């Protein structure tokens, strides 16, 4: 910017929008010493600034540091940071962590802070989870219910959200009786479009697997959890 044939190289004053004063100070320290001390207090300043001026080694160092700090309390925030700054390695690590701790993650309430696109990605990753697919379906329904109660999802958006979530549930790994019990869930009773999305996806997946002659076989499902696979013969 300052030495190449760019407009800024001839300007006496350059405005670096998106870089904080603290971030700039740390960038200069890194430029002169090739070292910077990262901590939770300065990491976002460094990452924002390094991303803005495209200092890839420093961006990678920030990603590695954030991976080392990953826990249940900050995983949603780290997912958002990874997606904002296109930190692929961090994003993979975060979603793998969420899946492997899915039961604790949902119990903590943090799961319900995920956006629709983040929940979709969580289910689409197909990383091993520590619960059966019936419970994964229940989490999807709980997430929908929570978004409605918090006015984060309005009725006209609900059918589309249900279709997107239910398409990522592995209904072949769920006892048909368990998913049928959802008919009494208040969410489905109050929102017919949601019920239609659920039963439409169940039928589509089970029709697709109807040629497979396996009943209640304890095989490993694609999320890495041992649970029965159910088929109608």
Query: pLDDT by residue for the chain (233 residues), tens digit each?
Result: 555 555 555 566 666 777 888 988 999 999 899 899 999 999 999 999 999 889 999 999 999 999 999 999 999 999 999 999 999 999 999 999 999 999 999 999 999 999 999 999 999 998 999 988 889 999 999 999 999 888 888 778 888 999 999 999 988 888 877 766 776 788 878 888 888 888 888 888 877 766 554 444 444 445 754 444 444 43
Contact 90, 67 (CB under 8 A): yes
Give me the helices (H) in the chain, please. 21-33, 43-52, 56-68, 75-84, 88-100, 102-107, 116-124, 133-149, 155-166, 176-180, 186-190, 192-208
Which two tokens mark 123? 């289910």
Which two tokens mark 10? 């001839």
What pLDDT, on the 0 to 100 scale, is given for residue 85? 95
From the list 153, 109, 102, the residue with the least C-alpha distance to 128 is 102
What pLDDT, on the 0 to 100 scale, is given for residue 231? 43
CA atoms within 13 A on the CB side of 204: 12
**C-alpha 71, offset from chain centre:** 14
| pTM for this entry | 0.82
Other C-beta atoms closer than 10 Å to the C-beta of 220 total: 12
What pLDDT, on the 0 to 100 scale, is given for residue 227? 47
Which two tokens mark 65? 């540091």
């Amino acid at each position: 910017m300052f030495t190449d044939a760019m407009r800024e190289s001839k300007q006496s004053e350059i405005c670096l929008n998106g870089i904080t004063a603290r971030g700039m100070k740390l960038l200069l320290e890194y430029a002169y010493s090739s070292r910077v001390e990262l901590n939770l207090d300065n990491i976002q300043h460094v990452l924002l600034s390094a991303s803005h001026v495209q200092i890839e080694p420093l961006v990678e160092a920030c990603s590695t540091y954030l991976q080392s700090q990953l826990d249940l309390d900050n995983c949603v925030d780290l997912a958002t940071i990874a997606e904002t700054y296109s930190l692929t390695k961090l994003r993979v690590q975060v979603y793998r962590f969420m899946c492997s701790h899915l039961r604790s993650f949902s119990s903590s309430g943090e799961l319900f802070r995920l956006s629709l696109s983040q929940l979709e990605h969580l289910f689409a990753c197909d990383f091993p989870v520590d619960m059966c697919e019936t419970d994964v379906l229940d989490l999807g329904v709980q997430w929908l219910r929570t978004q409605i109660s918090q006015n984060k999802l309005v009725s006209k958006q609900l059918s589309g959200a249900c279709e997107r979530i239910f398409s990522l549930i592995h209904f072949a790994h769920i006892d048909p009786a368990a998913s049928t019990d959802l008919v009494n869930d208040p969410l489905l009773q109050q929102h017919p479009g949601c019920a239609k999305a659920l039963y439409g996806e169940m039928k589509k997946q089970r029709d697709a697997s109807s040629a497979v002659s396996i009943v209640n076989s304890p095989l490993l499902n694609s999320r890495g959890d041992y649970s029965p696979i159910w088929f109608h013969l």
